[in-house]
Chains A and B, each alone.
Chain A
């Protein structure tokens, strides 16, 4: 088609005339005026909204809900939120990480061998849809090969072992990338997590981050929203102060402006669970739907996980585009992050004491307990903590909360919850209504629930006519605290009787143990600590004797990740934080003499603690061995031989001598020389077990460092049969000729292996 110059001139003329017609009309002038006005306000909008958010953050800082110096980037939740905030910029990072995963020989081999559909590379221009597709495709392939595809065996031969195992790593990484991809392409996200998990901290940091990068951020606490969600934002942010009539057109305009500026409007609503207003809860759906229309508006909610499933999930599920749920609990923390949290807390709470050994390990198991610990011991100077007394921490923390929540008697309410649990024989939770609180107390209590880490509210999902109000239940965050309260409740009842009579208590414990109810272990543990603190050793012995060998179906001591002993009695004893008493060593000696498993557990526990400089190290072992020597020296020798026997070596894939030598070597390297306790133990091994002569060089070194060591040992073991063996060591010839002992050893070992029926069960 040909266009002549005349045509173009005519066209331009027409455009000119139409334009001048339009411009002359008053309506158009008004429209343009409104647009210019809106543009003018839009420029100030960011400043206005961000200013309010900064005020909100300051308010949270003032209330102690957000402590900036306590913020530690613990896991990938923060990274996911970055993808949420900057989807365009971070897309390239995602593509780079995807390509990086497959840019190696292993991936190429897999593609050549198994599947040509495996995507190894994405182009830099791929959009989120394409990235999602690629990740999904590869995940499917690895899922297939992970499920033992025997039918593929003929095609790929034994290479399927390699694919099967590497699929694990690929899937791990791909799932992570998939999360990033999903969160980046979403416009609304819900951050869930338990109390004290750091949600508010994360949200505050997030809002600061997006404001720093020129975005608009409206950050609000949910409890401040008294009306409908949409109304609240219209009034507070969009219309009231700026006198703009139509929120919808206003948002539409903002959306366009943000599009050109490549920025976003973030709406952050913190702790939606803290707002019980029915209007607010039901308006969430409408709010989400209305804002989902604007691509440049992103919404981030936070909610306690225990409320989310029961109360809020259904509202979000019914929205047009259900939000992405980011569970901040599903990530694991590494040791470094925990160390970093500990140091940050130390600094913030001005705690200048030292935390070591088992206490540190315990705190690392629960970050919430760590927080409580520091709240309790803040400003403490000269404290050196090696083992934690959890119930003392809870007790002090309850006192703190008591003061904070005056005139409400928080401690009394906790006791009441425990009493209700005992009465109902239900240790999960207690209905809030059953506490019979007055309306003022109830309001105070509800406030206390939001501000403590010990007890919290949960909404139980129930079908039927019951209203939600009646389904609110109180439960303990820590099972340990519940058990403490329950045992205290029971003990107080018994101790108030005259004369003192624990029959009721034992009856209750018997019932718990018989039914294998969850507080059984905790109640036994705390009552033992209680009796011990009051020096009622008879009761302690009774507990050990009656319940020491009880087997619980629940994981032993749920709060202990490491279970050093299979004997419950041993576990109870180890909860004591000060020096062990004579009857406790005796208990260890008795169980070690009775079972080789307990004996091995004890040895590895003691040596491990010694290596980590923890309490209950070599001293525990020496004391127990001394008691064993007094109780049954022959059995002690047998146990020692058991350690060095080939059965031990088969069971543990390495001989004990080997392990022990390695262990001595590493301690020697670290400390320069062996501590006296270890030397003593080595000498005892040497004198009782012929194989131990392989440890000869360490003994010689030990005697050089501590010349009186053998004499000391003889004094300690006076009156036992072991003395004779120890006396032999005094003769220098015996020490210098280890080969003789090795010959003896084989003879003895042969005898031992023939007679040892109990041995170690090959599993």
Chain B
């Protein structure tokens, strides 16, 4: 029978993220950086998360008009901290991506969308503080 979600599931929403990465975004690279090994039992879920992040990074941010990624646009969308980090990391050759994911995507992507976090690791910086529910 159909299951009904009884938590705080509101209308579908989508939020923006910023990724500053040492290498170009690929599924394998993201998987490695997010901490999953290729033979993990949840590898398929993680693959869809990474795919949706990459897809999201190609479709640009929502709610803002961003023609190109630069210090000002990062500052406008993600705030001072991320803008500083952007300046710092891009100066040493990192790549920056902005995009959005939605709460209607796969379960982990939905979690990624609604969670409020900053991931700052070697080789990868993610600003996921936007979390409209």
Do any CB atoms of chain A lie under 8 A from CB atoms of chain B in the complex?
Answer: yes
Q: Which residues of A contact B79 (CB under 8 A)?
A: 157
Say whether B36 faces chain A, with CB atoms less than 8 Å apart: no
Is the beta-carbon distance between A161 and B2 smaller than 8 angstroms? no
Is the beta-carbon distance between A158 and B2 smaller than 8 angstroms? no
How far is it, in angstroms, between the C-alpha of A611 and the C-alpha of B1 when the chains are bound? 8
Give the interface segment out of A391-399, A490-498, A658-666, A699-707.
A658-666
How far is it, in angstroms, between the C-alpha of A25 and the C-alpha of B114 when the chains are bound? 84
Contact with A along B106-133 (1 / 0, CB 8 A): 0000000011100000000000011111
Partner of A162, one of B1, B2, B15, B116: B116
Is the beta-carbon distance between A159 and B131 smaller than 8 angstroms? yes
Is the beta-carbon distance between A159 and B1 smaller than 8 angstroms? no
Q: Which residues of A contact B132 (CB under 8 A)?
A: 158, 161
Q: Whose C-beta in chain A lies nearest to the C-beta of B8? A: A165
Q: Which residues of A contact B116 (CB under 8 A)?
A: 157-159, 161-162
Instruction: Tell me the smallest distance from the CB of A697 to a CB of chain B, in Å.
Output: 20
Instruction: Tell me the smallest distance from the CB of B120 to a CB of chain A, in Å.
Output: 15
Is the beta-carbon distance between B1 and A165 smaller than 8 angstroms? no
Q: Which residues of A contact B131 (CB under 8 A)?
A: 158-159, 161-162
Is the beta-carbon distance between B2 and A659 smaller than 8 angstroms? yes
B15, B79, B131 — most chain A CB neighbours (10 Å): B131
A162, A611, A654, A666 — most chain B CB neighbours (10 Å): A162
Q: Which residues of A contact B15 (CB under 8 A)?
A: 158
Is the beta-carbon distance between A157 and B129 smaller than 8 angstroms? yes
Q: Whose C-beta in chain B lies nearest to the C-beta of A652? A: B2
How far is it, in angstroms, between the C-alpha of A158 and the C-alpha of B130 when the chains are bound? 6
In residues 45-91 of chain A, which contact B (Cβ within 8 Å)? none
- Which range contains the number of B residues in contact with the other chain? 10 to 19
Q: When A158-B116, A162-B116, A165-B8 are in contact, do A663 and B1 touch as well, CB less than 8 Å? A: yes
Q: Which residues of B contact A654 (CB under 8 A)?
A: 2
Contact with A along B6-25 (1 / 0, CB 8 A): 00100000010000000000
In residues 303-325 of chain A, which contact B (Cβ within 8 Å)? none
Partner of A666, one of B1, B8, B115: B1
How far is it, in angstroms, between the C-alpha of A654 and the C-alpha of B5 when the chains are bound? 14
In residues 2-51 of chain B, which contact A (Cβ within 8 Å)? 2, 8, 15
How far is it, in angstroms, between the C-alpha of A666 and the C-alpha of B133 when the chains are bound? 32
In residues 47-61 of chain B, which contact A (Cβ within 8 Å)? none
Q: Which residues of B contact A168 (CB under 8 A)?
A: 8
How far is it, in angstroms, between the C-alpha of A662 and the C-alpha of B3 when the chains are bound? 11
A158, A165, A666 — most chain B CB neighbours (10 Å): A158
How far is it, in angstroms, between the C-alpha of A663 and the C-alpha of B8 when the chains are bound? 25
Q: Which residues of B contact A159 (CB under 8 A)?
A: 116, 129, 131
Instruction: Tell me the smallest distance from the CB of B69 to a CB of chain A, in Å.
Output: 20
How far is it, in angstroms, between the C-alpha of A654 and the C-alpha of B8 when the chains are bound? 19
Q: When A161-B116, A165-B8 are in contact, do A662 and B2 touch as well, CB less than 8 Å? A: yes
Q: When A158-B116, A159-B116 are in contact, do A165 and B133 touch as well, CB less than 8 Å? A: yes
How far is it, in angstroms, between the C-alpha of A158 and the C-alpha of B116 when the chains are bound? 7
How far is it, in angstroms, between the C-alpha of A654 and the C-alpha of B115 when the chains are bound? 26
How far is it, in angstroms, between the C-alpha of A666 and the C-alpha of B2 when the chains are bound? 10
How far is it, in angstroms, between the C-alpha of A654 and the C-alpha of B104 when the chains are bound? 13
How far is it, in angstroms, between the C-alpha of A428 and the C-alpha of B107 when the chains are bound? 52
Q: Which residues of B contact A157 (CB under 8 A)?
A: 79, 116, 129
In residues 72-95 of chain B, which contact A (Cβ within 8 Å)? 79
Is the beta-carbon distance between A158 and B8 smaller than 8 angstroms? no
In residues 661-715 of chain A, which contact B (Cβ within 8 Å)? 662-663, 666
Q: Which residues of A contact B133 (CB under 8 A)?
A: 161, 165
Contact with B along A135-166 (1 / 0, CB 8 A): 00000000000000000000001110110010
Instruction: Tell me the smallest distance from the CB of B46 to a CB of chain A, in Å.
Output: 20
Q: Which residues of B contact A659 (CB under 8 A)?
A: 2
How far is it, in angstroms, between the C-alpha of A196 and the C-alpha of B114 when the chains are bound? 46
Q: Which residues of A contact B130 (CB under 8 A)?
A: 158
Q: Whose C-beta in chain A lies nearest to the C-beta of B79? A: A157
In residues 327-360 of chain A, which contact B (Cβ within 8 Å)? none
In residues 617-668 of chain A, which contact B (Cβ within 8 Å)? 654, 659, 662-663, 666
Instruction: Tell me the smallest distance from the CB of B103 to a CB of chain A, in Å.
Output: 12
Instruction: Tell me the smallest distance from the CB of A704 to a CB of chain B, in Å.
Output: 25
Q: Which residues of B contact A158 (CB under 8 A)?
A: 15, 116, 129-132
How far is it, in angstroms, between the C-alpha of A162 and the C-alpha of B15 when the chains are bound? 14
Instruction: Tell me the smallest distance from the CB of A86 to a CB of chain B, in Å.
Output: 35
Q: Whose C-beta in chain B lies nearest to the C-beta of A168? A: B8
How far is it, in angstroms, between the C-alpha of A157 and the C-alpha of B128 when the chains are bound? 11
Instruction: Tell me the smallest distance from the CB of B117 to a CB of chain A, in Å.
Output: 9
How far is it, in angstroms, between the C-alpha of A161 and the C-alpha of B133 when the chains are bound? 7
How far is it, in angstroms, between the C-alpha of A663 and the C-alpha of B3 when the chains are bound? 11
How far is it, in angstroms, between the C-alpha of A165 and the C-alpha of B132 when the chains are bound? 12
Instruction: Tell me the smallest distance from the CB of B84 to a CB of chain A, in Å.
Output: 16
Instruction: Tell me the smallest distance from the CB of A601 to a CB of chain B, in Å.
Output: 16
Q: Whose C-beta in chain A lies nearest to the C-beta of B78? A: A157
Q: Whose C-beta in chain B lies nearest to the C-beta of A164? A: B133
Nearest 7 interchain pairs by C-beta = A159-B116, A161-B133, A165-B8, A158-B131, A162-B116, A158-B130, A161-B131
Can you show 21 pairs from A to B with CB atoms below 8 A apart?
Answer: A157-B79, A157-B116, A158-B116, A158-B129, A158-B130, A158-B132, A159-B116, A159-B131, A161-B131, A161-B133, A162-B131, A165-B8, A165-B133, A168-B8, A611-B1, A654-B2, A659-B2, A662-B2, A663-B1, A663-B2, A666-B1
Extra 12 A-B pairs, beta carbons < 8 Å, given A162-B115, A165-B133, A663-B1 = A157-B129, A158-B15, A158-B116, A159-B131, A161-B116, A161-B132, A162-B116, A162-B131, A611-B1, A662-B1, A662-B2, A663-B2
CB within 8 Å of A: which residues of B? 1-2, 8, 15, 79, 114-116, 129-133
